[in-house]
Amino acid sequence: MESGPIGIFDSGYGGLTVMKEIVNELPQYDYIYLGDNARAPYGNRSFETVYEYTLQSVNALFDKGCKLVILACNTASAKALRNIQQRDLPKMDARLRVLGVIRPTSELIGSFSKSKNVGVLATSGTVISNSYPIEIEKFYPEINVFQEACPIWVPLIENNEFNNIGADYFIKKHIDNLLEKSNDIDTILLGCTHYPLLHDKIKQLLPQNIELLSQGKIVSKSLKDYLFRHSALESLCSKNGKTAFYTTDSTEIFDQQAEIFYGKKLKSEYLHIM
């Protein structure tokens, strides 16, 4: 089997915040990013729809030669990953892998919280799936998880409206809601890969003792460890230090917006998926 790039997928731009950290941590590999911007956001869509769209996107990345795909999207990880791993991958080449972002985050989150009370901010889809409480319990049964769905945040971010006064109202509303659920929360996870763009605004609204976590670094360190432990898969990941970006919508708009998430300019290509 020929080696290929590592695929990184998100409904839109959010996964770029994760890819940025992965490329920093593991610059030797090749990467293909795919944003399904034409159908974003996924956060309020049904399980069936998120599964269908995610599977199509994963297949498109396999068609581009990827052997490993990271779902850099909590909503897709919550609603589609298990089905893809259990139902679809066994029918494909046994060496192909798809990984999500919820498990690696859950594995580590307990090491940040002393009070054992953790808050999770995420899309409605991720919250309704209950994936975080379920996964965190496997590693840290003593931790209480308090979730808050923030359905309007992704549209505000995707439309580049998150720095406006109108956005502040919705940011504060969900932070207040979460903090009302417990006085003992000392760690809050940004459980959506779009939310790192709101990091500074959220931080200003939080008491100083609360740690605010983004997933990029957690996921990149966990991927490094995973590749170290899975040498057969690692040898199928090509190493020329190249990156490519695909969007299912306008490349012009993608290139304008993506810089805010990726931290530098990039040039995307259009990909039709179905």
| Chain positions contacting ligand DGL, by CB under 6 A | 10-12, 14, 40-43, 73-75, 123, 126, 154, 192-194
| 88-96: Cβ within 8 A, 24+ apart | 88/55, 88/58, 92/62, 93/1, 95/1, 95/67, 95/232, 95/233, 95/236, 96/62, 96/67, 96/68, 96/69
DSSP state of 4: B
**Minimum Å distance from CB 135 to ligand DGL?**
14
Among 116, 75, 111, 80, smallest CA distance to 98 is for 80
- Shorter beta-carbon distance to ligand DGL: residue 96 or 149: 149
The tokens of 137 are what? Answer: 């319990």
CA distances from 63 to 8, 60, 82, 92, 188 (A): 13, 5, 21, 12, 37
- Omega cis (within 30) before 27: no
- Shorter beta-carbon distance to ligand DGL: residue 219 or 271: 219
**Minimum Å distance from CB 126 to ligand DGL?**
6
Among 9, 212, 242, smallest CA distance to 112 is for 212
**Minimum Å distance from CB 236 to ligand DGL?**
26
**Minimum Å distance from CB 35 to ligand DGL?**
10
Q: Is residue 237 annotated as part of the catalytic site, yes or no?
A: no
Q: Is residue 73 annotated as part of the catalytic site, yes or no?
A: yes
DSSP state of 237: B
Considering the candidates 66, 150, 192, 237, report the single residue annotated as catalytic. 192
Query: Which residue of the chain is nearest ligand DGL when measured via CB?
Result: 43
- Shorter beta-carbon distance to ligand DGL: residue 22 or 237: 22
Side chain identity, residue 129: S
Count of C-beta atoms within a 10 Å radius of residue 87: 11
CA distances from 130 to 146, 254, 257 (A): 11, 31, 31
- Shorter beta-carbon distance to ligand DGL: residue 4 or 104: 104
- Shorter beta-carbon distance to ligand DGL: residue 236 or 245: 245
Count of C-beta atoms within a 10 Å radius of residue 238: 19
- Shorter beta-carbon distance to ligand DGL: residue 106 or 238: 106
The DSSP string of 143-187 is -EEEEEE-TTHHHHHHTT-TTSHHHHHHHHHHHHHHHHH-S---E
**Minimum Å distance from CB 129 to ligand DGL?**
10
| Residue corresponding to tokens 């432990």 | 229
Considering the candidates 66, 73, 150, 237, report the single residue annotated as catalytic. 73
**Minimum Å distance from CB 144 to ligand DGL?**
22
Positions marked catalytic = 73, 192
